[in-house]
Every structure is written in C-alpha cells, then in structure tokens.
C-alpha cells in the first residue's frame, strides 16, 4: 500500500488537478470506443489506485516519471496501445520487451504491482493498456508537467514480437529525416515529433543508446570519433559516465532530471543532446525553429505535449470484444 506520506501528497495532487486541468485540457478527440467515464460504474477507484502507486514510485525515485512515459510510447508505437510491451516471451516467441530498441526498459515490475492492486479492487475490469496511459499522464504531472484527460476502454493484445518493436520504434541514432519519416508513419508531423522528444526532459538512459554519439560516430570504429556538434565539455561528461564499451551505466538525459520543463530544448540548443536523435533536432531549419520556440519560457510546449500524448493514446486501440483484459500484464489469460 502507499505510505501515509504518499496518501497525504495524493490529496494535494488531486486538489491541484482540479485547478490545473482546465488550463491544459487536451483538444484532441478520443478514438472511437474510448471514454473518460469508462470505469465510472465498473471500477470508479481505478484512476486513484494508479495515481497513488505512481506517486509512491516517484517519491522513492523521480526517474520513474521518464520510465512510465517511455512505456506508453514503446507500447503505442508498436501495433497500437494494447499493453503488448508488457508481455513476457515464451518458449516459441520473443516478445517486444526483448527487442534491441527496448534495452533497459524500466517500470515493468512496478506496472505488475499496480495491476495486482487493480485486480484486487476490480477483478478483470481494468486493462494493462489503460494502466500505462494513466501512469504516463500521472507521472508527467507529478514531475511538474501538464495534466490531460484520458479516454479509457482499451483492451489488451495477446500478441507481442521483438521484431515488430525493432521495426517500428525509432532508434537513438536516427537522423532528422528518418525520425520525421518514422513519426509520419504513425500520422504525426515533424512538430509533433519534436514535441514528444521533449519527454526526454524527465528521461534517464543507459549508455547503450549514448555510445554511438560519443564513440565511432562516423562508423570507423574509433574511440575518439565523437559527434563534432556536441559541446566539448558535455562530450567529456558523457565519456566519463559512459566509458567505451560500457552499455549498462545510466545517466539523466536532462540537466533538470526529474522535473518536466523546457530545459531539454535549451540543452539541445547548446550542444548538450544526449542522443543523436536529440542533437539532430537542430540540424535543419525546421527542427531548429521548433526547438527554439519551445526553449522560450512562454512557449506552448506543455499544451502541445498534452495533445500529442492523447493522440498517441489513440493509436491502434482494441475496444469492445477485441483482445482481452489480462489478469496479469506479463501473461495472456
């Protein structure tokens, strides 16, 4: 159960939401079959259960905010928002969570704990797919980001495959044009791509995705071959924390890690992008213009991020009699 401190903080959280929701309400319509009120009769406490556990995790480790955001993105970008990223591999199938692009995926055990609490309160009612959407929203808000309403009613997939994840999710080495094409395949434009990249403001990464940025940048197997656009002092910092060949160390992606703000865009402007996909945002006139606008304190970043997350939550949803409501997120029923 959440601690007394978490319970007290939850009351403050809920009060803040009532004041803040009208300011950052998303303007994107929900996919057919999704309703904000979906669990009002069958599990009215669903949202508060998820919220209390997310608060507990962030109180212990603020980097879970980025972990829950990443889980929504890595779920929805592969065959839709259907909880497939949570499934375990079997003897005959390698699941999404084993994909190269999902290296270091965090929050899976925590999601299982939240699901167990939901099953205790409302057996067989709340999907793992909806759990991920709620957790990402709550984690963002608790980290100081926008609040947005979410449509609910997704059901869980019975299918998960690592090749599908590697074939759909963007790798941290993609240049700007490939990133734009990847997002366009999901009907997101270049601006929305830059908006969602802003989730890195609360991210943390293993060195696995950083190494190509600071070693062997042009493919010559050279330890001194670093992206020349990186701020030299920042490149040295990355190399200290990610020695050549070390995939497992981890560092914050943003200088204000744990706080959702626009510092990410300021860092990218100053040559302090952790991934190639960060630094590449200012390599084109279009990307540089968008980054510059979000780096301004009075930008529309929060509102646009909320809208993009709602739009992402509409991707490929299963509703009605499709899929199932898993009893445990790791396994099909």
146 is in an annotated binding site: no
Q: What stretches of 77-175 show up as alpha helix (H) in DSSP?
A: 108-121, 128-142, 162-168
254 is in an annotated binding site: yes
117, 100 Cβ separation under 8 angstroms: no
The residues near 74 (Cβ < 8 Å, ≥ 6 apart) are 85, 96, 101, 102, 105, 165, 169
319 is in an annotated binding site: no
61 is in an annotated binding site: no
16 is in an annotated binding site: no
324 is in an annotated binding site: no
**Catalytic annotation, pick one of 74, 100, 206, 213:** 74
From 155, 137, 100, select the one nearest 26 (Cα to Cα): 137
110 is in an annotated binding site: no
78 is in an annotated binding site: yes
Provide the b/e sequence for 38-67 (b: ≥16 CB within 10 Å). bbeeebeebbebbbbbbbbbbeeebbbbbb
What six digits make up the tokens of 39? Answer: 């669990």
328, 128 Cβ separation under 8 angstroms: no
162 is in an annotated binding site: no
32 is in an annotated binding site: no
* 213 tagged catalytic: no
The catalytic residues are 74
Known binding-site residues for Ca(2+) equal: 75, 78, 80, 82, 84, 96, 201, 254, 261
Known binding-site residues equal: 75, 78, 80, 82, 84, 96, 170, 200-201, 254, 261
Known binding-site residues for heme b equal: 200
Known binding-site residues for substrate equal: 170
């Amino acid at each position: 159960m959440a601690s007394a401190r978490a319970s007290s903080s939850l009351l403050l959280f809920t009060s803040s939401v009532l004041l803040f929701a009208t300011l950052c309400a998303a303007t994107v319509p929900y996919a057919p079959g999704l309703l904000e009120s979906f669990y009002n009769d069958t599990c009215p406490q669903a949202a508060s259960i998820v919220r209390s556990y997310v608060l507990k995790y962030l109180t212990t480790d603020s980097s879970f905010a980025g972990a829950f955001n990443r889980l929504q993105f890595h779920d929805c970008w592969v065959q839709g928002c259907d909880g497939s990223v949570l499934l375990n591999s079997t003897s005959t199938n390698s699941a999404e969570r084993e994909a190269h692009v999902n290296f270091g995926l965090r929050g899976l055990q925590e999601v299982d704990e939240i699901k167990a609490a939901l099953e205790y309160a409302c057996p067989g009612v709340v999907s793992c797919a909806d759990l991920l959407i709620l957790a990402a929203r709550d984690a963002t808000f608790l980290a100081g980001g926008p609040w947005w309403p979410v449509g609910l009613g997704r059901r869980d997939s019975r299918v998960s495959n690592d090749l599908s994840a590697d074939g759909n999710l963007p790798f941290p080495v993609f240049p700007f044009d490939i990133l734009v094409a990847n997002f366009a395949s999901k009907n997101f434009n270049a601006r929305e791509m830059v908006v969602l990249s802003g989730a890195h403001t609360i991210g943390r990464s293993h060195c696995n995705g950083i190494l190509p940025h600071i070693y062997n940048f042009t493919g010559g197997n050279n330890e001194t071959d670093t992206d020349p656009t990186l701020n030299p002092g920042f490149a040295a910092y990355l190399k200290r924390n990610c020695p050549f060949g070390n995939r497992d160390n981890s560092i914050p992606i943003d200088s204000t890690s744990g706080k959702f703000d626009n510092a990410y865009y300021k860092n990218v402007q100053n040559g302090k992008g952790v991934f190639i996909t960060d630094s590449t945002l200012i390599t084109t006139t279009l990307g540089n213009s968008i980054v510059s606008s979000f780096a301004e304190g009075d930008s529309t970043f929060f509102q646009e991020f909320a809208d993009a997350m709602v739009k992402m939550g509409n991707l490929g949803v299963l509703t009605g009699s499709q899929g199932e409501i898993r009893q445990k997120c790791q396994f099909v029923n």
